[in-house]
Amino acid sequence: MTESGRSEIVWRPTREFAERSRIARFMRAQKIDSLGELQRRSVAEPEWYWDAVVRDLGVRFTRPYTRVLDSSRGAQWPRWFPDGLLNFTDNCVDRNIDAGRGDQAAIIWEGDDGQGRTLTYRELAREVNRLANALKRLGVGEGDRVGVFLPMSPEAAVATLAAGRIGAIYTPCFSGYGAQAVASRLQDCEAKVLITADGFQRRGQVVKMKETADEAAALSPSVKHVLVYKRLGREIPWTAGRDQWWHDLIAGESDQCPALPVEADRPCLLIYTSGTTGRPKGAVLTHGGFLIKCAHDFGYLMDVGPGDRLFWLTDLGWLMGPMLITAGLFHGGTAVLFEGVQDYPKADRLWALVERHEVTVMGMSPTAVRALMPHGAEHVHAHELSSLRLIGSTGEPWNPEPYRWLFENAGKARLPIINYTGGTEISGGILGCFPIAPIKPCSFAGPIPGMAAECFGEDGKPVRGQVGELVVKAPWPGMTQGFWKDPQRYEETYWSRWPGVWVHGDWAFVDEDGFWFIQGRSDDTLKIAGKRLGPAEVESVLVGHPAVAEAGVVGVPHAVKGEAIVCFVVLRRDSAPSEPLRAELAERVAKQMGKALKPERVLFVRDLPKTRSAKVMRRVIRATYLGYEPGDLSSLENPAALKAITEAH
């Protein structure tokens, strides 16, 4: 981001736009005059703030909480809304039917092949209840884990809501994952049931989901049942006794199933986010925390309310998928789900979808915009987009050119781009823009109310005008309740650098006007096309090949994906570099991790730079490969390895 880019205000709210926003109405009700005052007071008085939010949003508790926050176990392990009982699905479905929205569209779906389907709230409730009863018949009970490996479809929403209704915990898996990536998640959470599809279409090609699910289930002893949604009606392999068709299973079930009231901090969603080392981390999100944080952010930042049509270009395996479903339904709107990609079968597919379904709030990642730009702006202008009120963005840092392209073409330089950043472990955002505040290109107006965010220098003190660590100094509803069965790893990951401070792992910059910018990850985590991935996962796939002794994987800038994978491979003594081996290794990663994660390059090296404790120094690999200054090398054990990187072939 250039200095000139940082200094320019690109959008200001009109008085009418600001005053009718949900956050402005909330502030008027609380007698708060400015966004700055709201942010300060929300952090200083969290119990006042989150109680006011729950009441303003209309979150339904079946038993009231006795207080808002119990922090007696420390900042790492807060208890939110103790003694309160609620149910995630009751708030997303039943509450809307009770409010008279039973005949309103709850979900609109469009497939890659142009098929479409709409479910009203009443129809959705019946589908959810039937599946909930079927899951109970399969032995799924409160606290049991259910793997959900489905395309972005009505069934994805039904599956997640059915699990939540009976107090089970669902684990979503990205629809493009290979078997190993799915299996690692099923194994870690010990899923009892896996819900999948016979397949789906992507760019007109069949994705054989059931075969991938079979391979993953074979590696996961805990999986006793595989439930298959018939999306395509294709011939698939079948394991008698284990596999069951969704439609057959629910056929005889009642469409009545009372929602189970659970404690607000009871786990609802177990979603995996990859770190820089070891196996994927299972972030534990709760009925109350995930629901309230998601509803808060989409209500006050994205201005979603009753009757809105919310669309996000996403997948269920990325947190934005569950958030799209949750926010659209909780707020009494319509969640628009899309199975396909933004430019198939024609370059105008995304804009046609927005026009066709009269989307009011649309969100996407910078990666998607970069992929659309080469097709030309004429595809945007060919469609009537007057239904749009607001554009959301998350997933990775922006570049100025694609930001302006989206702002000027899709938004006609009139609509705000609500930039939004946080993470899976946050249940939403840390920083954001607001419908009542000016916006600079690529920026964030500041911390989201309720988030005690700061930019720390190396000494643990706030800095301005220089890059620092994005941190959060106090707990919030929605923060992960640790990592699944690994509390120590959770504490080490986020709380070990400064006492009582969450270190998020992003570089942040606050300019002279108080606008925030994210500069990318401060750890080694890869972000490929908006999907976070741990290098260790890819390295494990490479080292599993008999020719490979060691591997180091880094992300490098990519014009479309944001980041691309480059693999540095040390071969065993009896193996020699070759083009066929290079191709074989790249295909191995694509097969096991998913096609979207295929490496950009596989390079053979003699050695990898390591610390004295034998940790691969990925930041040094990346910097050396890109020709940057590698920084502190005091812990480097084998300096000759740097030459090996520069000579990689």
Instruction: Give the rounded distance of the alpha carbon of 83 from its chain centre.
Output: 29
Give a yes or no: residue 614 inside a domain: yes
Range of the domain at 552: 526-646
Q: What is the mean pLDDT of residues 442-451?
A: 97
Please say if the pLDDT value at position 632 is more than 80.
no
CATH number at 642 reads: 3.30.300.30
Tell me what pLDDT residue 5 has.
Answer: 42
DSSP assignment of 103-165 equals TSEEEEEE-TTS-EEEEEHHHHHHHHHHHHHHHHHTT--TT-EEEE---SSHHHHHHHHHHHH
pLDDT at 274: 57
Strands 193-197 and 225-229: parallel
Report the C-alpha gap between 245 and 230 in whole angstroms.
7
Spatial separation of the C-alpha atoms in residues 178 and 533, rounded to whole Å: 13
Q: How confident is the model at residue 615 (pLDDT cuts 50, 70, 90)?
A: low
User: Quick one: how far is CA 477 from the chain centroid?
Assistant: 17
Q: Is the separation of the CB atoms in 385 and 355 below 8 Å?
A: yes
Are 226 and 251 in contact by the 8 Å Cβ rule? The answer is: no
Going by DSSP bridges, is the β-strand pair 468-472/502-510 parallel, antiparallel, or unpaired? antiparallel
Rounded Cα distance, 56 and 50, in Å? 10
pLDDT of residue 177: 87
Q: Which of these, 276, 333, 274, 281, lies nearest to 303 by C-alpha position?
A: 333
With respect to residue 235, please indicate whether it lies within any of the assigned structural domains. Answer: no
Number of domains forming the structure of the chain: 1
**CA distances, 347 to each of 37, 165, 213, 618 (Å):** 44, 39, 31, 37
Structural domain includes residue 128: no
The predicted pLDDT at position 374 comes to 85
pLDDT for the residue 560: 83
Q: How confident is the model at residue 630 (pLDDT cuts 50, 70, 90)?
A: confident
Query: pLDDT tens across 309-352, in order?
Result: 999 999 999 999 999 999 999 999 999 999 999 999 999 999 99
Look at the pTM and tell me if it is higher than 0.85.
yes
> Across residues 588-593, what is the average pLDDT?
92
pLDDT band at 3 (very low <50, low <70, confident <90, very high): very low
pLDDT value of residue 532:
62
pLDDT of residue 536: 74
For the cut 90, the answer to whether the pLDDT of residue 40 exceeds it is yes
Evaluate whether 206 touches 199 at the Cβ level (below 8 Å): yes
Closest CA to 57 of 293, 241, 394, 405: 293
Concatenated DSSP letters of 538-589: HHHHHHTSTTEEEEEEEEEEETTTEEEEEEEEEEPTT----HHHHHHHHHHH
Q: How far, in Å, are 13, 288, 454, 588, 621 from residue 295 at the CA level?
A: 22, 10, 23, 40, 41
Per-residue model confidence as pLDDT tens digits over 502-529:
999 988 999 999 999 987 777 776 777 7
Q: Which pairs from 31-37 meet CB under 8 Å and 24+ separation? A: 35/434, 35/436, 35/437, 35/445, 35/446
**Structural domain contains residue 543:** yes
How does the average pLDDT of the chain come out, rounded?
A: 93
Is 178 inside any structural domain?
A: no
Residue 276, in any domain of the structure: no
Considering the chain, what percentage of its residues have pLDDT values greater than 90?
A: 79
Local structure of 429: helix, strand or coil: strand
Q: How far is CA 374 from CA 159, 302, 441, in A?
A: 37, 28, 21
Residue 439 lies inside a defined structural domain of this protein: no
Rounded to whole angstroms, the Cα distance separating 147 from 282 reads: 13
In the predicted model, what is the mean pLDDT of residues 574-596? 93
Q: How confident is the model at residue 449 (pLDDT cuts 50, 70, 90)?
A: very high
In order, the DSSP letters of 435-497 are TTS-B-TT-B-EEPTT--EEEE-TTSSB-SSS-EEEEE-S--TT---SBTT-HHHHHHHHSSS
Retrieve residue 69's tokens. 């926050």
Q: What is the pLDDT of residues 260-306, one digit of tens each?
A: 999 999 999 999 975 434 567 899 999 999 999 999 999 999 999 99
Q: What is the model's pLDDT at position 525?
A: 67
Whether the per-residue pLDDT at 88 is higher than 80: the answer is yes
Closest-CA residue to 335 (of 320, 350, 347): 320
Query: Three-class SS of residue 85?
Result: strand
Q: What pairs with residue 507 in β-bridges?
A: 469, 520
Residue 532 lies in a domain: yes
Where does the pLDDT of residue 531 fall: very low under 50, low under 70, confident under 90, or very high at 90 and above? Answer: low
Supply the angle between the helices 287-300 and 46-57 in degrees, to the nearest 10: 80
What pLDDT is recorded for position 535?
80
pLDDT of residue 629: 81
